[in-house]
Structure 1
Amino acid sequence: MKSSLALSLLALLSLTGCNALNTQPATESHIEGQWSLQQFYLQGSLVELGERTRLQIMAEDEHSGRLSGNAGCNGFFGAYRVDNGKFSTGPIGATMMACPDDLMTQEQQFLKALEQLTSFSYDGQTLKLQDESGQVKILMAPE
């Protein structure tokens, strides 16, 4: 009897452990780090941005911190706040280097999208930043 109970408990623990490896709930700690842009969506369409687009998120405490990066041409910076999967930024500032017009337009759209994000999720490989309708706007991968 004891051995069958022990085997049942061992089987339950191993199944729980496997499941825990496959899913990661979005927590504030998952958002901190260095990220490179994978995809950016504007009005439901995929927008190509330069390979230099990066985002760094640095926590100052468990619910807020600073973000910075490169939007393709110019550097940007600002503050963020997270709480229970909700994400918000303060105003985003940026340097003002001269770049080709099309790159500047895309960059401005990316920075505007950052300010409109309201939630995030993390699946262990991709950070998904969503707007208030739940649409994924930005997909980032860890560097």
Structure 2
Amino acid sequence: MHTRRLSTLALAAALLTPLVAACGGDDDSGVTTDDLDGRTFVATSFEPDGIVEGSEITIDFAGGGLSANAGCNVQNGGYSVDDGNLQVDTMTSTMMACDDALMAQDDRIVVLLSSSPSVTLDGDTLTIQGDSTLVLTER
């Protein structure tokens, strides 16, 4: 009886192991670097402070790098997606002077992208979420 019970448990473990492994993976969100590469997204909302009136926030993903423009300067850095989080290398930036609201929006984008935010992709809607939430749609 004891041998039969152990055999049954061993069989169950052998059958369930591939199923449990399939549920894991490197990227629980389903988003990969390849999903973003070659795509441009435009912000529809940036909470909690909103998008500066008259400005546009865009993020371009290409060849393992991203380029973000929040209305004033352009920030660039390498990126990857790891376990549902966007990982962005140290970003470089142009150094144009703009009005205070646009400069602050630039800063908010850099802070968000540099914070290892979560990233989800639902069709053509990309959501980047950390202390703030940026929702974008594909251009």
Q: Report the identity percentage.
A: 29
Q: Any gaps of 5 or more consecutive residues in structure 1?
A: 1-23, 60-64
Contact 1:81/1:88 (<8 A) preserved: yes
Pairing 1:98–2:97 present = yes
Give the deviation of 1:27 after TM superposition: 3.4
TM-score w.r.t. the length of structure 1 is: 0.66
Q: Distance in 2 between matches of 1:125 and 1:46?
A: 23
Match of residue 48, structure 1, among 42, 47, 51:
51
TM-score w.r.t. the length of structure 2 is: 0.68
Q: For 1:41-120, what aligned pairs fall within 5 Å after superposition?
A: 41=47, 45-49=48-52, 50-59=54-63, 65-120=64-119
Secondary structure at 1:47's aligned position in 2? coil
| RMSD between superposed Cα atoms in Å | 2.1
Q: Distance in 2 between matches of 1:118 and 1:48?
A: 19
The aligned length equals: 109
Match of 1:38 in 2: 44
Q: Distance in 2 between matches of 1:103 and 1:28?
A: 28
Q: Any gaps of 5 or more consecutive residues in structure 2?
A: 1-28
Match of residue 138, structure 2, among 119, 135, 142:
142
